[in-house]
Homo-oligomer: A and B are copies of this chain.
Amino acid sequence: MAQNIYDQIDFFEGYSRLDRSVEGLDGAPEWPALRAMLPDVSGLSIIDLGCGFGWFCRWARAHGARQVLGLDLSEKMLARARAESTDAAITYERADLDELSLPKACFDLAYSSLALHYVSDAARLFATVHQALVPGGTFVFSTEHPIYMAPTQPGWSIDTAGRKTWPVDRYLVEGPRSTDWFAKGVVKHHRTLGTTLNLLIEAGFVIGHVEEFCPTKAQIAARPELAEELERPMFLLVQARR
C-alpha cells in the first residue's frame, strides 16, 4: 500500500499552496511539455492516475474528452476535486495505485502527473494500465526524475569553483527514499530511468517519447528561478503506446 501522505494535514496544507495547486496546470512548468505528448483528447475515454484536485480531468473535459475517471488515494484531494465540478462525465474514485485493478480495454488514454514515484510496484501498475487501455491507446505520465530522487540527501551544493551542482549518489540502488517535504518522512520509490522504461516495455508498451524536463527560454525569462532546472532534471515525462 502506498503512503497516504497527502491526507496528513501539514503536507496537504503545504501542497495546497503550490503554484500547481492554486493555478492548476498552468502553474506547473512541465505542463506544456507533457501536454505536447498527449493525443487529441476529443472523444476519448481517459483515466487519470493520481488526479489530485482534478485539474487535468476538468481540462480534458473542456477539450472534448468523452469521459474521465480520476483516481486518487487522498480523501482530502478527492473532496476538493468533487467540489470543483458537477460534470457528470467526470467520476472520482479513491484508489491505491499499488493495489489497483482496472477493467480490460476501457480507456483510450491513461494519464498520470507526479504520482508514480509514490508507487512501489511499478511493474504491477504498468501491466494493469496496459490491459486497461484499448489497443493503440496511449499512456502519458510525469514522475520525479531518478537523478532528482536518487541521492541520500537530495539538494543543491556549491562546488569549489562556485558552481551550483546536484550531488548524486545511490543512483543504482533502487528502493524507497524518505525525505522531508511539507511533512517528515515522505516515502518515494526510486527506480532508474532504465528500469522505468524496461518495465513499460515488459508490460507490452512501445516507448514513444522520453523527456527530461527542461524549461524553455521563455519560461526562464518569466520565472528566473527556473534556470537552475538546467543543471539537473527534476521531472521525467514519458509517452508510451499499447
* Chain B residues within 8 Å of A214, by CB: 172, 192
A101 contacts partner chain B, Cβ-Cβ < 8 Å: no
In contact, A168 and B197 (Cβ under 8 angstroms): no
0 or 1 for each of A192-206: is its CB under 8 Å from B? (1 = yes): 111001100100001
Chain A: residues with Cβ within 8 Å of the partner, total of 38
A157 contacts partner chain B, Cβ-Cβ < 8 Å: yes
A166 contacts partner chain B, Cβ-Cβ < 8 Å: yes
A161 contacts partner chain B, Cβ-Cβ < 8 Å: yes
Task: Give the interface segment out of A102-110, A112-120, A227-235.
Answer: A227-235
In contact, B169 and A233 (Cβ under 8 angstroms): no
A151 contacts partner chain B, Cβ-Cβ < 8 Å: yes
0 or 1 for each of A166-201: is its CB under 8 Å from B? (1 = yes): 111111110000000000000000001110011001
Find A171's partner among B171, B172, B233, B236 (CB 8 Å cutoff).
B233
* Chain B residues within 8 Å of A152, by CB: 161, 163
* Chain B residues within 8 Å of A193, by CB: 193, 210, 212
Taking A198-B209, A210-B194 as contacts, is the C-beta distance between A232 and B168 under 8 angstroms? yes
Give the distance to chain B from A11, nearest Cβ to Cβ, in Å.
26
Find A201's partner among B167, B207, B236 (CB 8 Å cutoff).
B207
Find A165's partner among B161, B169, B192, B230 (CB 8 Å cutoff).
B169
Give the distance to chain B from A158, nearest Cβ to Cβ, in Å.
10
* Chain B residues within 8 Å of A210, by CB: 193-194, 197-198
Give the distance to chain B from A201, nearest Cβ to Cβ, in Å.
7
In contact, B161 and A169 (Cβ under 8 angstroms): no
Q: A147-B147, A159-B167, A159-B169 are in contact. List 12 more A-B contacts (CB 8 A).
A: A152-B161, A153-B159, A157-B159, A163-B169, A167-B167, A168-B168, A171-B232, A172-B229, A172-B233, A173-B230, A192-B212, A192-B214
